[in-house]
């Protein structure tokens, strides 16, 4: 059954307003940092949000959306597939990813921001080869290496010392394109300081792979700090979508 419901006029208006506000604020933060706003991609994080919201965003000129659960994202992407909206959209997978979901994610995602271990690199590469085996050509998958900025267990990300080894594995894997680094600011630290470490890590990565210039950092509460430290991909949810519905 296909979900063709639409947002109410009021919900749509609120969404358009918040989107416009964030766009203005991102551009302003970029200029304050001496950067060109055009080099920054805002990914709207639509996790837990209904498909109607994704559709409305596309109507407002959004091309990049982010999701953090494989099953939910795959369901949304397949509901949209075959529609004009689908052609305009890139899906970014931003959550922790189990290797047994790699194939499911590879089927719809243009980018995975949470590459944090060798087994996942291998699984994502294999998932692309499997698609080719059935006569399709899997497009290259953009990969961001997720950095752990704290020692807190269970938050995902590779320890800074393991970044370059992991990067080499991505570079060697068929069908994967190393774009750069990704990080989530820790809760107990000044975001700007944390993002400064991400920028340093990005510089180290570029000494290995000069094209891997992307920095995925910055959420609703800290994107201005991320922009100041060179973020090229922001992952912004609630500041644009409004409150998330309770997790199902």
- Write out the residues near ligand PLP by the rule CB under 6 A: 45, 47, 68, 94-95, 184, 219-221, 235-239
Residue with Cβ nearer ligand PLP (94 or 181): 94
Task: List the beta bridge partners of residue 182.
Answer: 146, 216
Q: What's the closest the beta carbon of residue 239 comes to ligand PLP, in angstroms?
A: 6
Q: What's the closest the beta carbon of residue 179 comes to ligand PLP, in angstroms?
A: 16
SS3 98: coil
Q: What's the closest the beta carbon of residue 244 comes to ligand PLP, in angstroms?
A: 7
Residue with Cβ nearer ligand PLP (124 or 175): 124
Task: List the beta bridge partners of residue 158.
Answer: 147
Concatenated DSSP letters of 182-217: E----TTS-HHHHHHHHHHHHHHHHHH-TT--EEE-
Residue with Cβ nearer ligand PLP (175 or 217): 217
The rounded distance, in Å, linking the Cα atoms of 195 and 117 is 21
Residue with Cβ nearer ligand PLP (67 or 230): 67
Name the nearest CA neighbour of 185 among 121, 244, 247, 228.
228
Q: What's the closest the beta carbon of residue 4 comes to ligand PLP, in angstroms?
A: 26
The rounded distance, in Å, linking the Cα atoms of 213 and 207 is 10
Asked if residue 166 lies in contact with residue 145, where contact means CB atoms within 8 angstroms, the answer is yes
Residue with Cβ nearer ligand PLP (160 or 242): 242
Asked if residue 205 lies in contact with residue 181, where contact means CB atoms within 8 angstroms, the answer is yes
The rounded distance, in Å, linking the Cα atoms of 114 and 147 is 9
Residue with Cβ nearer ligand PLP (219 or 224): 219
Q: What's the closest the beta carbon of residue 66 comes to ligand PLP, in angstroms?
A: 7
Q: What's the closest the beta carbon of residue 17 comes to ligand PLP, in angstroms?
A: 17
The rounded distance, in Å, linking the Cα atoms of 80 and 75 is 9
């Amino acid at each position: 059954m296909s979900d063709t419901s639409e947002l109410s006029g009021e919900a749509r208006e609120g969404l358009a307003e918040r989107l416009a506000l964030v766009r203005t604020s991102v551009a302003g933060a970029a200029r304050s940092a001496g950067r060109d706003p055009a080099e920054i991609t805002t990914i709207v994080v639509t996790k837990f949000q209904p498909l109607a919201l994704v559709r409305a965003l596309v109507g407002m000129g959004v091309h990049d959306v982010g999701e953090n659960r494989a099953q939910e994202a795959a369901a949304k992407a397949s509901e949209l597939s075959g529609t004009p909206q689908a052609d305009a959209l890139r899906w970014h997978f931003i959550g922790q990813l189990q290797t047994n979901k790699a194939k499911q994610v590879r089927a719809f995602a243009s980018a995975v921001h949470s590459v944090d271990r060798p087994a996942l690199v291998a699984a994502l590469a294999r998932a692309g080869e499997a698609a080719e085996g059935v006569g399709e050509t899997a497009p290259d998958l953009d990969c961001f290496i997720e950095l752990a900025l704290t020692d807190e267990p269970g938050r995902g990300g590779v320890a800074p010392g393991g970044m370059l080894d992991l990067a080499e594995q991505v570079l060697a894997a068929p069908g994967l394109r190393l774009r750069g680094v990704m990080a989530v600011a820790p809760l107990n630290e000044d975001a700007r300081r944390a993002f400064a470490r991400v920028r340093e890590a990005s510089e180290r990565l570029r000494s290995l792979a000069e094209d891997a210039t992307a920095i995925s950092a910055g959420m609703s509460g800290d994107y201005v700090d991320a922009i100041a430290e060179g973020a090229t991909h922001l992952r912004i949810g609630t500041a644009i979508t409004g409150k998330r519905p309770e997790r199902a």
